[in-house]
Amino acid sequence: MAGPDGVLRCPWALSAEDYVTYHDEEWGRPVHGDDALYERLSLEAFQSGLSWITILRRREGFRAAFADFRIAKVAAFTVGDQERLLADPGIIRNRAKIEATLANARVLADWAPDELDELIWSHAPDGAPRPAPKNLGDVPAVTDESTALAKALKKRGIRFVGPTTAYALMQACGLVNDHLEDCAARNGSPEA
């Protein structure tokens, strides 16, 4: 669909300016680095059961609350930090999600550098790219790769990640390209 600027975008990106910016500048673009991927994994878990716009609008609050998602810093959070997070109106104050985010940092702190990056990207689909989706109904919620990624992460001790969350992570971090066929961002920038 064309936005007010005439650029064709995925329809979900047109309902709010925050979505336009996220769609045009981030979604579907490759993300690397353990801290950056930990942030995306954490935000996808917090999004579970909520709209993504809720997460986007609180993203800076999440970054402030979780030390910019630096794994080593979050892994050192105390019970007092957890209580602070549960009282922080700048984030989603869900105890299970907060506990999982802290536990995941502690697990990841013991991994080798780039191990999370390598694990996630090892689940990118192999072979020829699948056909570009023509409409939102063509975009899956779960794939064999996302199911395998969720299992691999869980096996290594990562919490609050299932196949749907893993697929959302794959979309957000550029492992798959689910921009619709006519979307300007499909093959580059929205200005392309």
Q: Given the residues 22, 27, 38, 121, select the one marked as catalytic.
A: 22
Active site (annotated) includes residue 99: no
Q: CATH number, domain at 42?
A: 1.10.340.30
Say whether 32 counts as a known binding-site residue. Answer: no
Whether residue 149 is contained in a domain is answered as: yes
* Active site (annotated) includes residue 22: yes
Q: Whole-number mean pLDDT of the chain?
A: 94
Q: Between 128 and 37, where is the model more confident? A: 37
Q: Which domain holds residue 134?
A: 11-173
Q: 11: which DSSP letter?
A: G
2 within some domain: no
Burial 147-167 (b: 16+ CB within 10 A, else e): bebbebbeeeebbbbbbbbbb
- 47-105 confidence digits (pLDDT tens): 999 999 999 999 999 999 999 999 999 999 999 999 999 999 999 999 999 999 999 99
Q: Which of 180, 152, 148, 162 is nearest to 47 (CA)?
A: 162
Confidence (pLDDT) at 191: 44
Nearest to 28, CA basis, from 183, 191, 162: 183
Does pTM top 0.85 for this prediction? yes
- The answer as to whether 140 is a domain residue is yes
Does residue 6 fall inside a structural domain? Answer: no
Domains in the chain, number? 1
In this structure, are residues 123 and 174 in contact, taking their beta carbons and an 8 Å threshold? Answer: no
- Residue 70 sits at φ, ψ, to 5 deg, of -80, 115
- Give the angle subtended at the CA of 173 by the CAs of 182 and 110, to the nearest 5°: 170
> Looking at the domain assignment, is residue 138 inside a domain?
yes
173 is in an annotated binding site: no
In a domain, 182, yes or no: no
Which of the residues 19, 27, 39, 44 is marked catalytic? Answer: 44
Among the listed residues 52, 121, 145, 167, the single catalytic one is: 52
- Residue 190 located in a structural domain: no
Residue 52 domain-assigned (yes or no):
yes
Q: How far out from the chain centre does Cα 64 lie?
A: 17
